[in-house]
Amino acid sequence: MASQPSDTFDALLCFDANLPKLGKCEDNCGCKKSILCIHRFNSKVQVEHCNTKAFGGWSDLSIFTHFLGCIIAGIARSSINPGRYVFIILTKDRNFIYDVKKEWEKTDADARLDLVFSGNSISCGGLIVFIQQIDCPNYGHSKADDLRCAFYKVNSFLSENSKA
């Protein structure tokens, strides 16, 4: 999460375990289109990534609640201002929201979080987490193509929502 309370970001992006990590920033990487790093996003973003090995076998509900916990912990530490961020989970899973909802419905009603499912988002206690599927038809199936699609999806989403 953001290290200083003064850090301001347009979005907190949570990369699901099925997405590759971004490339490391290098000198002048913002000017080099071939380097797929955080500079390919048009907005100031912060990225959290599930380590594939550590999250192996986790359900979509577990991944969602992990990221929700990271967001809530950041708010509690005052390193995240929920009025300043857009929260987005990026995943290649086309059934992510459906799978989260089905598993959530199976849990004991007294023990489960109060989640609200709506279109491309899941809300909890006033926090809205948008789910963006990385499924661009014009890209191939390589890790670089997944990242290019992620850049396109996030840039488009943030551009559309900044006009609202």
The tens digit of pLDDT for each residue in 14-51 reads 888 888 888 778 777 767 777 788 888 888 888 888 77
DSSP secondary structure letter of residue 29: G
Q: What is the mean pLDDT of the chain?
A: 84
Q: Which two three-digit tokens encode residue 115?
A: 């989640």
Asked, for residue 147, whether it belongs to a domain, the answer is yes
Beta strands in the chain (DSSP E): 11-15, 45-49, 86-91, 115-118, 121-124, 127-133
| Domain-located, residue 4 | no
99 against 25, higher pLDDT: 99
pTM comes to 0.85
164 lies in some domain:
no
The answer to whether residue 5 is domain-embedded is no
Q: Is the pLDDT of residue 3 over 60?
A: no
pLDDT band at 133 (very low <50, low <70, confident <90, very high): very high
pLDDT of residue 7: 47
Residue 35 lies in a domain: yes
18's CB contacts (< 8 A; 6+ apart) are 52, 91, 92, 93
Q: Is residue 1 part of a domain?
A: no
Give the pLDDT score at 9. Answer: 64
Q: To the nearest 10°, the Cα dihedral for 83, 126, 58, 132?
A: -60
- The more confident residue out of 95 and 138 is 95
Helices (H), the chain: 60-76, 96-106, 143-162
Reply yes or no on whether the pLDDT at 8 is more than 90.
no
Per-residue pLDDT at 107 exceeds 80: yes
Q: Which domain holds residue 22?
A: 11-159
Total domains present in the chain: 1
With respect to residue 2, please indicate whether it lies within any of the assigned structural domains: no
d(CA 162, CA 164): 6
pLDDT class of 103 with cuts at 50, 70, 90:
very high
Report the pLDDT value the prediction gives residue 164, as an integer from 0 to 100. 53
49 - beta bridge partners? 15
- Taking only Cα atoms into account, the Rg of the chain, rounded to an integer number of angstroms, comes to 16
